[in-house]
Amino acid sequence: MQNWAGNITYSATRLAEPESVEELQTIVAGAAAVRAVGSGHSFSPVADTTGTLVSLRNLALPTVIDAEARTATVPAGARYTEVTADLDARGWALPNLGSLPHITVGGACATGTHGSGDRNRNLAGAVVGVEFVRGDGELVRCALGEPEFAGSVLALGALGIATRMTLRLEPAYSMRQDVFTDLPLDRAAERVDDIFAAAYSVSLFSDFARPDVLDLVWCKSRGDAPPSAAFLGTPADRERHPTPGLAATGTSPQLGAVGPWHERLPHFDPSHNPSTGDELQSEYFLPRHRAGAGLAALRAAAADFAGALQVFEMRTIAADDLWLSPCHGRDTVAAHFTWVSDFDLVRPALAAVERALGPLDARPHWAKVFLAADRSTFESIYPRLPDFRALADRHDPERRFGNDFVARYVYA
């Protein structure tokens, strides 16, 4: 069994697909090693196990909306495209979505996956309750406000297998998406705060073939009002794919066409293969105030990594208090790299990027490829890591949900 990109071959000896929570509890209680896998979109071995790999795609659980509390309890194994279409049809929405609607709710929240926007937290930031099966097979529920909640949502699958997640809702809304081209990088670095504030969600794209120019600026605006465009570049005259040279087939609607939130917040249409379909990915999270410095550092190092790059994207994310979140305690800007699928070419490019961004207090994405970080690095990055270890000791003392990746970066 392999992940979506084909760069990870899972070590599991068995794939289990339980059809009830009770069956899942039995599987977990009887396994020496067990992990959950969602859509398989993680590029790191975070989901790997030497024992039983569990998919929740056959665990048919209903979506339950509490209109008074403005929440929805959804299956953790459901894909966002399934959840969002259902919510929208019932008049509700989530505050933000990731680039790909193909990913599962549980997997995305467990690894720190995010969308974009100065005031938008990562996807786990919408969670107000989580239910999971812990190491002894017991079903555990934890809600916002409880002391251990901030360690129980974005938990890398190390506490248990999530079955349901309760998400904060708001009334359904419409959006438009506008794309601009050829933004001078000097202007982007100087006016980076204005650029990211120009719309509800803003993404900057470049392949660094032209190191002085950002190829595209994608702006997602709520309602039908266009973004403030004076400094964003030239309005695109046709729909564009984020990756230079690719047809826009499969991207979300652009050119200012107004439509439902769940069809505009992702970059890609759920009916098509996401992104380029043949790639590796890396991402590094910097303090928000270092966005301009990050762009400058990458421009200076571009010759050392652009040959392995398909496209670069920069986005902003609001701070949160989740213990293992890459946005823990600070407003954040994320530098995302879609690479070619050959790791021999990507490795030296990654080294160049980490040299450039490391001095800017970069945190690597848990679910993407990275090189330099070790346990001591993560201990300095995540001050609540000792608290998370204590939580893992309580829910999974036998380390059934452990693997080499978690042991290397998380466990003492």
Q: Which residues contact 87 (CB under 8 A, 6 or more apart)?
A: 63, 65, 72, 93, 94, 169, 172, 262
Would you state the pLDDT for residue 372? Answer: 76
108 membership: H or E segment, kind and range: helix 105-111
Would you state the pLDDT for residue 320? Answer: 97
Q: How many residues does the chain have?
A: 412
- Please report, as a single letter, which amino acid is at residue 281: Q
Q: How far apart are CA 287 and CA 36, in angstroms?
A: 31
71 three-class SS: strand
Give the Cβ contact number of residue 136 at 10 Å: 15
Q: Is the pLDDT of residue 260 over 90?
A: yes
Contact between residue 172 and residue 87 where contact means Cβ atoms under 8 Å apart: yes
Least confident of 139-143, 146-150, 208-212, 293-297: 208-212
Q: How far apart are CA 345 and CA 309, in angstroms?
A: 9
Q: Is the pLDDT of residue 270 over 90?
A: no
Instruction: Take residue 87 and report the two structure tokens written for it.
Output: 């919510």
Contact between residue 403 and residue 45 where contact means Cβ atoms under 8 Å apart: yes
Matching residue, tokens 């266009």: 226
In terms of Cα–Cα distance, which of 261, 240, 259 is closest to 251? Answer: 240
Summarised one tens digit per residue, pLDDT across range 51-93 is: 999 999 999 899 999 999 999 999 999 999 999 999 999 999 9
In terms of Cα–Cα distance, which of 117, 293, 285 is closest to 190? Answer: 293
Q: Is the pLDDT of residue 374 over 80?
A: no
